[in-house]
A and B are shown apart, each in its own frame.
Chain A
Amino acid sequence: MNANDAAVQVPEFDPQQLILRAKRRRNFSERFDSFSDAYVWVLAALVALAYLFSAIFGLIFALLGQGVPHPHMPLAVWSLQELSPVLLVLATIYLFRLLLHLGPLAVDSSKAEWWLPLPLHSNALRGRALRQALLLGMLASAFIGIIWLIVLYGLAGAFDPLVAGWAMVCFVLAGIVLTNLAVVVQSNGKQDQVQRWLRRAVLVLIVVLVVFWGLLKAQNQWVLGAVESAADAILQISTWVGGTIILFCLGVLSSWWSHRTYSNIGARALRSSGENQQLLWGSLMQADYRAATAPSTALIGRRRSQGRRLVSHLPVVWRVLVLRLIRGARWHLPVRYLVLVMALTMTVEQIANPLSAVVFYLLLSVLLTLNVSAVISPLLTQSQLTQHLGQSTAKLRQTAALFAVLYSALALTLLTAGLGALGVIELSNAWMWGAAVLLGSLGSAAGSLGYAQRKERDWESLLGGATNDVAIAAVLFNEVSTLVRAVATLAPLLSLVLSPQRVIAWPLWLVSLIFAFRALHMLVGEFSKQSRS
């Protein structure tokens, strides 16, 4: 028997039929439960969207510094509305990257374990994965579209339902096109190459922005006209109708292409994509971003020799922390954030205002909490790993706390100095600013120490155990308490940003101190434990 004969005799088997048979046997109450679950999820999504609307409108309000006097930045040439098309391009690129990272075709681990090794055609499995991928692409694109439209209409100040409707159709079609393209890339096993090209595309976009900024600064009439036309065009219905027609054609073409190629995707790619999807869903369900953003071995491998000389004379625990920071590229996030903040403040009109500065501080505090927690987490949670180091737990905690405070203080100082140098905030009383930054750093450190020890959440038992609204609110508050702690300690700092001439009321200092207490306790209290042990 030759290979072709063997291939012909491989039976067609649709594992989906197996699931369907099992599903048909489910009784009514189980179906009702499923419906009830779906209902709760839809309700939760609507509530989340409502909160998202409010948050984005609040953000726009703050960024534009409504009613707050602000200095005129000599380098500012953009308006936020003019930048919205750029935001759209960036969103498209990152959505495509996400789809490539997720497969987009994937088989979850149980199916991969039991079905992929069977000597059967797996077309049914792949077909289902393709339908799921298309659904995922459409939903993700539509979600991005909703956020983008909120931003756009928040800036434009007027809402046109017809334009918004056509725009949403465009976003859904764009999701289909992007998913199909990602399937074709996955079929050819070119994800890594395409990801590299997309990274370069982001750099090109930044260069284009810089060139446009230079030309706008030089009052180049053609660029002025082009930017204005682009900003106006996104509010015109004809733009979106045209976009819909083009995307529909691309959708048909790309669907045909992806259907021709998707059977080439190998079991290994389906399995690894399944792991990526599982990781992402797990992170979303757990509301814990750490697993999904952990640096890959390949990324660390490229930096394996970095920092060796720098840390050679440091104590072992510091050595571990600094190497995690450098080789895991974890310092990139706050640095990129600070660069973005400075660039936006300098080049976008109206952003250089104290309300924006408040937003920048709050975001930095949250970002630092999450960022530092990822660095220090093994020292606080992996007792079997740290047992090898021959250091007491108290000593490890103290070092982690000190690292978190210093790292946060550096980031907050850079933001303060940058905004001060640009004239957005008034740095008149250095001592006050110093004390406020120190307390903010302690707060971020306290938040990150708490977040680093966050364990897996069983939402069913957590929320199921809450019998009334107050209890549910308490559970939810507890979930965000680490971030609240970090943000609350910024109270004196934010007071200085908004009214630099006024004396900070003592209750603000007190609140800040209370929330910073955990980090202080770790720094000082653990010292005595350490001496005893």
Chain B
Amino acid sequence: MYSATNVVTMQTGQDAKYQLEAKELVIGYPQRTICGPLNLQLSRGHGVGIIGANGSGKSTLIRTILGHLAPVQGEIEFLGLPVNEDSMTFRQEVAVQVTDGTFFEELTVAEHLEIVARGHSLPSWEQKVQAELDFFELQEVAGLLPGELSSGQRRKVLLAATLIRPAQLVLLDEPEQRLDLRIRQKLYCRLATLRQSGTTLLVVTHDPQLLRNSLEHAMLLDEDQGEMISAESGAQWLER
């Protein structure tokens, strides 16, 4: 287990360069600090779950990493450069599902996946779209509009759009929410495979199974501090 004032190095392998690095990061709002200072260094193929009680700052951390919120203090770098969510590199290399999501209300489910696949110039995108529709069991609603879907189906479309595209880093905020058990099980395997293929995962979760099956470590946000623990310890903390 790592210390609470943690400098956590998770770098492995030959490559010394971190994909994502947060240094002395304090998150929150100008009038209210939520958590920190945190230090987080993720290199290729690592999977970290962010866990903690409601209001501990899990989603705030993700939003700060994405640049939606300015850090109160400290800095965040992606591939050695300050995070700039407007840049082409960031948008091409980082896949994000952080909220219940917004949609283009005029585009069908299949068309949403198609524009993501084609936007990232995926070869044989038709097959990839079909594969995602199959994986998330969305074939029957492929021709429906977002406004015609249930909240669970909308969540599945967002996850499909996040996972259909190539990415070095995948950020997910409680991906298990609203999913039925079978899809959850498939998602655990999918994320584990993704990580093994070299994609880095940073996932906010309340699901101990997701931690155990798909990730290596957990960052426990508790008492305004971040503590890096193993995935199993994290799962036990969630089950306590």
Contact = CB atoms under 8 A, between A and B. Distances in A.
A270 interface: no
Contacts of A394: 86
Given A388-B161, A390-B165, A301 B111 contact: no
A247 B89 CA distance: 68
Contacts of A391: 88, 91, 119
Contact size range, B? 35 or more
B115 A382 contact: no
Interface in B151-178: 161-162, 165
B106 A327 contact: yes
Contacts of A390: 91-92, 116, 119-121, 165
Nearest to A379: B104
Nearest to A311: B111
B104 A378 contact: yes
A486 to B, nearest CB: 25
Contact of B165 (A319, A327, A382, A388): A388
A364 to B, nearest CB: 24
A388 B118 contact: no
B119 A393 contact: no
Contact of A387 (B85, B107, B121, B145): B85
Contacts of A533: 84, 86-89
Interface residues of A, number: 31
Which of the listed residues A295, A328, A385 has the most CB atoms from chain B within 10 Å of its own CB?
Answer: A385
Contacts of A316: 115, 118-119
A31 interface: no
Interface in B66-107: 68, 84-89, 91-92, 94-96, 98-99, 101-107
A391 B88 CA distance: 6
B101 A384 contact: yes
Contacts of B86: 383, 392-394, 533
B102 A384 contact: yes
Interface in A129-163: none
A530 interface: yes
B62 to A, nearest CB: 11
Which of the listed residues B86, B95, B143 has the most CB atoms from chain A within 10 Å of its own CB?
Answer: B86
Interface of B: 68, 84-89, 91-92, 94-96, 98-99, 101-108, 111, 115-116, 118-121, 143, 145, 147-148, 161-162, 165
Interface of A: 294-295, 297, 300-301, 304, 316-317, 319-320, 323-324, 326-328, 378, 382-385, 387-395, 530, 533
* Top 7 A-B pairs, shortest CB-CB distance: A297-B147, A393-B86, A392-B88, A327-B106, A389-B119, A316-B119, A390-B120
8 contacts: A295-B106, A300-B105, A320-B107, A387-B96, A388-B119, A388-B161, A395-B88, A533-B84
